[in-house]
C-alpha cells in the first residue's frame, strides 16, 4: 500500500501555483486526500450523497480560502478542519440520520411495511472501495480500525452524538489527531475536547456495539457462507435460511420505518408480507460498510425479467447473520456499486 501523501506546506511550489490561480495545481495537491475526506464526511453525516455534497463544498471553501493557509499545519490537517466545519454546518440544517431500529419499536411480522418515510432521515450504506485503508495516515491516538469505523452500527451510533462530540470522537479516535489539533479545528480548548471525548465514549459504550466478522478480504469460509446465502435466498428455502440466521437476528428496510426482531419474526415476514421476494436474484458486490452486500432484483410484475429492489447489507458474527438491512433506494444506490438497472431473463 502507498504511504502517506507528501506533507504540503504553504511554501510548496504546487500550492504556490494554486495560490496564483492554477486550479489544476490545487486539484493535484488535494487529490490524495479526497478518499479519506469523503469517508470522514460520511461518518459525520451518515449519508454517502451528503458526504459528496459536503466534500465538494469543503474543497470549494479551501480553494477560495487558500490564501489563508499559512503552513502552520499540514495541508491534510487544514483540509480536515474545513471538511469538519462544513459537515457541522450541514448537520445544523437537517435532521439526524438513523436506522429503523432507532426510529421506533419492532414491527409485527404479520404487518405490511406501511408507508415509506421519504424525508432524508435514513443512514445510507457506504461503498468500501471508496475507503482508504492502511494508508499510514491515522495518528497514534486512533482506537478504531478504518473498516470498523465505517460499519453501519458504528456510524448509526455516531449520529446519536451531539455534533461537536461526534466531530471530537472521529478526529481523535478514528483519525488519531491530538487533542490540541482537534481544539484548533473546532476553535475550542483542549479541556473542552477531552470532556467531549469522555462523554462521547460513554454514549458509545452504552449502545454496546457488537463486533462483527471482518469480510474484506474474504477467507474461504466466508466465501462459502456467501454462496450458501445466495443459494438459500434465491431458492427461498426456509430450512437453509433458518440455519444461517442467528436466533436474535434483526432486519430493517429503509425508507420504511419497519424493523423485525428475532429469526422467527424475520422468517414469518419473508414468508408472509414479504413473499414477493420469492424468485429474486442477487448479485454480490463490493462490500458495503465492511459487510457482505448484494444487489437484489425481484421478479418483474410484467412477467419478464427482474426489477431492482434493494441493496442488501448483511452483518455477520460468529458465522451467522445477525442483521440484514434492505436499502430500497436503488436509483440512488445501485449506480454506486455498478449494478445494472434491471436483469433480463
CATH of the domain at 269: 3.10.450.50
Count of structural domains, the chain: 2
In this predicted structure, the answer to whether residue 218 has a pLDDT above a threshold of 80 is no
Residue with cell 479541556: 191
Among the ranges given (7-11, 25-29, 90-94, 152-156), the one the predictor scored with the smallest mean pLDDT: 7-11
Average per-residue pLDDT in the chain? 90
Q: Side by side, which strands form the sheet with 259-261?
A: 259-261, 245-252, 320-327, 306-317, 291-299, 281-288
Q: How much is the pLDDT for 120?
A: 79
Q: Closest by alpha carbon to 138, among 3, 44, 8?
A: 3
Phi then psi dihedrals of residue 88, to 5 deg: -60, -35
- Do the Cβ atoms of 231 and 304 come closer than 8 Å? no
- Residues with Cβ within 8 Å of residue 223, at least 6 apart in sequence: none
Q: How much is the pLDDT for 2?
A: 36
Residue with cell 454514549: 203
Q: What is the mean pLDDT of residues 78-87?
A: 97
In this predicted structure, the answer to whether residue 16 has a pLDDT above a threshold of 90 is no
- 67 found inside a domain: yes
Residue with cell 474474504: 218
Q: What is the mean pLDDT of residues 204-213?
A: 83
Q: How much is the pLDDT for 132?
A: 65
Q: What is the 3-state secondary structure (H, E, C) of 218-258?
A: CCHHHHHHHHHHHHHHHHCCHHHHHHHEEEEEEEECCCCCC
**End of a domain among 74, 94, 114?**
94
**End of a domain among 65, 94, 123?**
94
Residues 129-186 have pLDDT tens digits of 887 655 445 666 667 777 788 899 999 999 999 999 999 999 999 999 999 999 999 9
Q: How much is the pLDDT for 13?
A: 86
- 179 found inside a domain: no
- 287 found inside a domain: yes
Q: Which helix (H) or strand (E) holds 76?
A: helix 75-91
- 181 found inside a domain: no
In this predicted structure, the answer to whether residue 6 has a pLDDT above a threshold of 80 is no
Q: List the CATH number of the domain containing 21.
A: 1.10.1740.10
Structural domain harbouring 261:
220-337
Q: How much is the pLDDT for 136?
A: 46
Count the Cβ atoms, other than its own, within 10 Å of residue 32: 18
- 189 found inside a domain: no
Q: What is the mean pLDDT of residues 14-32?
A: 92
> Is-cis flag, bond preceding 165, omega within 30?
no
Q: How far apart are CA 249 and CA 264, in angstroms?
A: 9
Q: How far apart are CA 145 and CA 242, in angstroms?
A: 32
Record the pTM: 0.91
Q: How far apart are CA 57 and CA 82, in angstroms?
A: 9
Residues 269-279 have pLDDT tens digits of 999 999 999 99
**End of a domain among 94, 119, 145?**
94
Q: What is the mean pLDDT of residues 309-316?
A: 96
With the C-alpha atoms ordered 59, 65, 67, 72, is the resulting torsion angle positive or negative? negative
In this predicted structure, the answer to whether residue 5 has a pLDDT above a threshold of 70 is no
- 251 found inside a domain: yes
**Burial class of residue 3 (count of CB atoms within 10 Å of its CB; 0-12, 13-18, 19+):** exposed
Count the Cβ atoms, other than its own, within 10 Å of residue 174: 24
Distance of CA 59 to the CA centre of its chain: 21
Amino acid at each position: 500500500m502507498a504511504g502517506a501523501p507528501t506533507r504540503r506546506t504553504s511554501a510548496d511550489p504546487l500550492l504556490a501555483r494554486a495560490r496564483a490561480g492554477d486550479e489544476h495545481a490545487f486539484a493535484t495537491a488535494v487529490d490524495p486526500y479526497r478518499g479519506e475526506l469523503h469517508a470522514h464526511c460520511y461518518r459525520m453525516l451518515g449519508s454517502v450523497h451528503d458526504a459528496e455534497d459536503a466534500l465538494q463544498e469543503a474543497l470549494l471553501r479551501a480553494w477560495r480560502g487558500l490564501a489563508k493557509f499559512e503552513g502552520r499545519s499540514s495541508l491534510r490537517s487544514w483540509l480536515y478542519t474545513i471538511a469538519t466545519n462544513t459537515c457541522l454546518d450541514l448537520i445544523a440544517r437537517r435532521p439526524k440520520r438513523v436506522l429503523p431500529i432507532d426510529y421506533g419499536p419492532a414491527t409485527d411480522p404479520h404487518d405490511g411495511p406501511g408507508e415509506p418515510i421519504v424525508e432524508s432521515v435514513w443512514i445510507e450504506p457506504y461503498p468500501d472501495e471508496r475507503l482508504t485503508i492502511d494508508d499510514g495516515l491515522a495518528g497514534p491516538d486512533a482506537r478504531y480500525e478504518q473498516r470498523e469505523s465505517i460499519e453501519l452500527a458504528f456510524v448509526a451510533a455516531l449520529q446519536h452524538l451531539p455534533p461537536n462530540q461526534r466531530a471530537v470522537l472521529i478526529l481523535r479516535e478514528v483519525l488519531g489527531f491530538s487533542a490540541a489539533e482537534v481544539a484548533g479545528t473546532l476553535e475550542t480548548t483542549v479541556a473542552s475536547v477531552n470532556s467531549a471525548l469522555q462523554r462521547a465514549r460513554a454514549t458509545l459504550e452504552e449502545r454496546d456495539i457488537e463486533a462483527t466478522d471482518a469480510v474484506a478480504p474474504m477467507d474461504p469460509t466466508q466465501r462459502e457462507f456467501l454462496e450458501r446465502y445466495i443459494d438459500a435466498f434465491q431458492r427461498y428455502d426456509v430450512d437453509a435460511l433458518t440455519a444461517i440466521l442467528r436466533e436474535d437476528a434483526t432486519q430493517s428496510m429503509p425508507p420504511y420505518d419497519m424493523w423485525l426482531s428475532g429469526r422467527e419474526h424475520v422468517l414469518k415476514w419473508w414468508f408472509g408480507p414479504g413473499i414477493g421476494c420469492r424468485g429474486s436474484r442477487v448479485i454480490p458486490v463490493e462490500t458495503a460498510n465492511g459487510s457482505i452486500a448484494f444487489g437484489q432484483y425481484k421478479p418483474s410484475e410484467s412477467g419478464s425479467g427482474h426489477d431492482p429492489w434493494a441493496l442488501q447489507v448483511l452483518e455477520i458474527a460468529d458465522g451467522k447473520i445477525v442483521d440484514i438491512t434492505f436499502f430500497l433506494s436503488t436509483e440512488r444506490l445501485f449506480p454506486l456499486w455498478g449494478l445494472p438497472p434491471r436483469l433480463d431473463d
